[in-house]
Chain A
Amino acid sequence: MATSTLTKAEDRTAVSHAARIQHVSKSFGRPGAQQLVLDDISLDVAPGEFVTLLGASGCGKSTLLNLVAGLDAPTVGAIETSGRPALMFQEHALFPWLTAGKNVELALRLRGVPKSERRDEAERLLGLVRLSGAYGKRVHELSGGMRQRVALARALAQDSQLLLMDEPFAALDAITRDVLHDELTQLWHETGLSVLFVTHNVREAVRLAQRVVLLSSRPGRIAREWTVDIPQPRRIEDSDVAELSLEITEQLRGEIRRHGQH
């Protein structure tokens, strides 16, 4: 979208939703032998809201994220987003022929930021994820956690109002993941971004989100939603988090069990 000036949080509230998913279904395969992956999904993400999409493998949560990202088109239904959303993958997806800083600058360049401003802006974004010294570092010189933070900085460089995250911390060790949860929560507070975060980790979902949406599998449908009003900063080990996680896990197990019954 052309209105890239909409960067401040107060402007974002002018829009009623960051993403609106309306009766979306998605099937794959040839006509006649089609497999329904997503069935009639409707979901709104409000400006500044943090929503996690939770589900077992094969529930189509990544497919849904691809649809929202515009990498694929829904078979039925419509998806509205304000501008092109930023997307973070499970793999860092940084370009190895560029340094960390240049990766961020490429996103700025593709967004149309003039050359004279790119360097400073890239430094600022790397500073946001606490990697000020990593501008000239090659991707392979960075640790897994640092790579994901550069990827986060690159996603932020798109200046999108909606950040889509596809299990971005799943490949990290527990300590690093924990730290990145804190980092992401803090960034979300600072930037006022809307986040749609896909995960299969129940505690991670509860740790991060204001709203947890549980998808059932094959086809993916919205099974249930929870509003999480545990105040931030939360810890993944907090008893409130554990309690809600237990409840959601029970429901998730129920959904999975249904698949073994026929």
Chain B
Amino acid sequence: MASTKSSTETSRSASASASASASASASASASASASASASASAAKGADEAAGLTGLAGLEAGLDALESSVDQRTPRSETLRKKVLPPVFAIALVLVLWQTLTWAQIVDPYKLPSPSAVWSEVRTAWLQGTLFDYIWTSLWRGVSGFLLALVIGTPLGLLVARVRFVRAAIGPILSGLQSLPSVAWVPPAVLWLGLNDSMMYAVILLGAVPSIANGLVAGVDQVPPLFLRAGRTLGATGARGTWHIVMPAALPGYLAGLKQGWAFSWRSLMAAEIIASSPELGIGLGQLLNNGRINSSMPMVFLAIFLILIVGIAIDLLVFSPLERRVLRSRGLLGRS
């Protein structure tokens, strides 16, 4: 245990033994039976002089014993445990798919071979339209989502913090979440016509409730202790919202944003498939619809893959790292 390396170590162990045997020290000082107990009672008297180093040393020891250090998993392990399995699954699907088409078990008109889809990708790439498709939809999706963020955040805060607003529109807001946003396409077309604003309207109607509800859930889960602690520090009203409520609600808010993005993307695709018009340009939804009209299964598959890939990429590159970072900094991410 306490080895005597230096003089400070000795004084620390002396005062430690004083505290350990201090229940006996009062009576022991009277009897003064052994030199050890004599030194213990002396340590008590000298506690004031040696108090600083004794207490500091004791605390330093306790701190060192009880602190835990955050360890990040090494990159090679992440690669082995997180990247390899999905790559393997995808490869397996591709092999099965290719086998099915080679063996001609299914009609190639209904299930094009992976190579047919790949050549569709190549054609689009060589024509320079591949990124146009993606960009048209991605631009709409991202700007629509950001607009939903700007509207959904204050709305969620209002619902979470103002009792009357919550009673008035809280249930409607959560109800709206269960309404498939594709239902908004027909009215949006009738109200706004076949143009970009109709697309944005559908995105907003899909994403704003998600973002607002996520924030409400986040605020509801803020431990009351934080609010009390904030109030004693003087964080009331807007300062309390900014310094305490918003950061405390961040994990729930992020989950809402993630879902909001998924809803934005889905709503947009629904809108693009249904509402085709030359002025709208060709996004991924239109590409899918064109594939159907031209009876080109490779094009349909290409469109579906691109929609999937964009959705996954945004989640993987934006939301997952953000969420992990927030949770890790709060010690909420269990190491597995």
Contact = CB atoms under 8 A, between A and B. Distances in A.
Given A144-B66, A146-B63, A238-B22, 13 more contacts: A91-B225, A93-B228, A106-B233, A106-B235, A110-B235, A111-B234, A139-B331, A141-B69, A143-B62, A154-B233, A158-B232, A176-B66, A239-B26
Interface residues of B, number: 43
Contacts of A235: 19, 22, 25, 44
A95 B247 contact: yes
A238 B47 CA distance: 14
A1 B120 CA distance: 73
A110 B239 contact: yes
Given A143-B63, A182-B51, A182-B55, A84 B244 contact: no
Centre residue among B27, B51, B60, B234 by max chain A CB count within 10 A: B234
Interface in A100-147: 106-107, 110-111, 130-131, 138-146
A243 to B, nearest CB: 11
6 residue pairs, one from A and one from B, having the closest CB atoms:
A140-B331, A143-B66, A93-B229, A237-B23, A96-B330, A87-B232
B226 interface: yes
Interface residues of A, number: 43
17 contacts: A84-B234, A87-B229, A95-B244, A97-B326, A98-B247, A106-B243, A110-B234, A138-B331, A140-B331, A141-B67, A141-B68, A142-B67, A143-B68, A235-B25, A235-B44, A237-B23, A238-B22
A36 B248 CA distance: 34
Contacts of A239: 26-27
A175 B58 CA distance: 10
A95 B226 contact: yes
A139 B223 CA distance: 16
B55 A146 contact: no
Contacts of A106: 233, 235, 243
B56 interface: yes
A237 B63 contact: no
Contact of A141 (B23, B44, B58, B70): B70
Contact of B55 (A97, A110, A139, A186): A186
Nearest to A142: B67
Contact of A97 (B47, B231, B248): B248
Contacts of B244: 95
Centre residue among A85, A130, A131 by max chain B CB count within 10 A: A130
B196 interface: no
Interface of B: 19, 22-23, 25-27, 44, 47-48, 51, 55-56, 58-60, 62-63, 65-70, 225-226, 228-229, 231-235, 239, 243-244, 247-248, 250, 326, 329-332
B243 to A, nearest CB: 6
Contacts of A107: 233
Contacts of A110: 233-235, 239, 243
Contacts of A139: 330-331
B330 A140 contact: yes
A145 B64 CA distance: 11
A131 B66 CA distance: 14
Contacts of B225: 89, 91, 93
Nearest to A240: B26
Nearest to A93: B229
A111 B235 CA distance: 9
